[in-house]
Amino acid sequence: MMEGPAFSAEEASWQERLLRVFYAPKSSFAAIVGRESAWDWLLPIACTCLVALGAHYVTIDVVGSLDVPAVQEKLSGLDEAQRQQYTRSVEMLRTQGLTMIPVGLFTSLVIVGGLLMAVAKFIFHAELSFRQVLVVKAYATLVVAPEWMVRAVLILATDSPFVYTGPGVFVGEAASATFFGRVLLGINFFDLWQVWIMGAGLAVMGDIGVKRATLAIAVLWSLWLLGGVGLEFLGEQAGLAAV
């Protein structure tokens, strides 16, 4: 994909950098490499947070309800313990959702930033500052903004909180109980978009090949997805054994 010439920091405004990261991320990172400031990670996170909070506000009557038909149908297929767990999660979403969103974004920023630093150092032997990896992850996090907007449209259109932005939309009820089906449900096209942006950012900040950086991040993301699904299955098996 042609990304066009990289901009210098003087040529690219912060608005241009935030916009271009969606389709030409290398040029956005090239504009700030070596002269990063706190604003370079604070602004993307703040913009993303505002969009996410707005989407939460317009969808809370659906995602925070136990009365919509889609939720009632799901609850009918759960046992008592699962229904109580789902009810608690919905209540928490209604009472703490406005706090959970910014906390979740900042927590992800720090954790993934640390992982990016470890990847750069131990795999590619590149020294990145913590501020640089925060910028990489913060710019990638901007993808969460259109993700929340798309999810909000789907939730309002279907009157259901159970929407997917990946191959999970094609997974049937029976398949969703299998390991492979759960993996498909966990794949999110917006996550893959973030992987691409973080690969570009890591490559520019650490002077690493883009393909190598992106592959390393894609492998870590795959391990995280498979590990999460595996732990979920182990937890369910443990619960069944305890019954």
User: What per-residue confidence (pLDDT) applies to 5?
Assistant: 42
Element (H, E) at 128: none
> What are the structure tokens assigned to 139, written together?
């710019």
- The pTM of the full predicted model, rounded to 2 decimals, is 0.90
- Residues 151-204: tens digit of each pLDDT: 999 999 999 999 999 998 888 877 888 889 889 999 999 999 999 999 999 999
- Of residues 188 and 7, the one with the higher pLDDT is 188
- Considering only CA atoms, give the Rg of the chain: 20
Smallest CA-to-CA distance from 161 within 72, 48, 228, 54 is with: 72
Across residues 124-134, what is the average pLDDT? 95
The Cα-based distances of 16 to 8, 37, 44, 204 in angstroms read 12, 16, 12, 17
pLDDT at 101 over 50: yes
The Cα-based distances of 217 to 92, 155, 186, 187, 240 in angstroms read 32, 30, 17, 15, 35
Q: What angle do CA 227, 93, 221 make, to 5 degrees?
A: 20
Element (H, E) at 58: helix 39-63
The Cα-based distances of 116 to 2, 38, 141, 193, 233 in angstroms read 25, 18, 14, 16, 28
The residue type of 81 is A
Are 196 and 214 contacting, i.e. CB atoms less than 8 angstroms apart? yes
